[in-house]
Amino acid sequence: MAGSELALLKGDMASDGLSKGDYMLLHRECAVCWWPDNRRGRRLELHHIVGGAGRKDLPCGSNWICLCSRCHRAVHDRLPEYGELPRGAILQAKEDADGSVNVELLASLKHRAALPYDQCDIPEKFLADRLKNGGGQA
């Protein structure tokens, strides 16, 4: 799906906005490892990129990313076999999945001019899983 089409569906260019359920329907695979929603073994979960007390659900879905249960766990805890999934890599996965990431908007959710981390590459072990999962076509 082209970025502008997704933006329209997400509500970036529409007044209606987007529900969490709609966002999940539009994202049928993990943004990090491309695990498809129709494969058994993991479930897809909605992750707030900027979380914490008082976090906001933006109507455009800019603060959401779809992660499989394993990658979601890797964001919050280290996985022994994979290590850490840095928050900056989540920004890269968001850009890969949605065509863009609005870092300034995300920072504004915490009343900051910038996030305390920069966008960075997704670790190699997760990228290797993308190849195995053959995703990116949902």
Task: Kindly report, residue by residue over 58-113, the tens digit of the pLDDT.
Answer: 878 899 999 999 999 999 998 888 888 999 999 999 999 999 999 999 999 888 99
Does residue 138 carry a pLDDT above 60? no
138 or 38, higher pLDDT: 38
Taking the domains of the chain in order of start, what are their residue ranges?
3-48+59-133
Query: CA 101, CA 91: separation in Å to the nearest integer?
Result: 7
- Arithmetic mean of pLDDT over the chain: 85
Q: How confident is the model at residue 118, as a pLDDT?
A: 96
**CA geometry: angle at 128 spanning 136 and 29, to 5°?**
30
- What DSSP state is assigned to residue 40? T
Using alpha carbons, list the distances in angstroms from residue 46 to 7, 50, 54.
18, 12, 17
The model's pTM is: 0.83
Q: Where are the alpha helices (DSSP H) in 17-86?
A: 20-26, 69-76
Q: Which pLDDT band, with edges at 50, 70 and 90, does 16 fall under? A: low
Q: Which pLDDT band, with edges at 50, 70 and 90, does 54 fall under? A: low
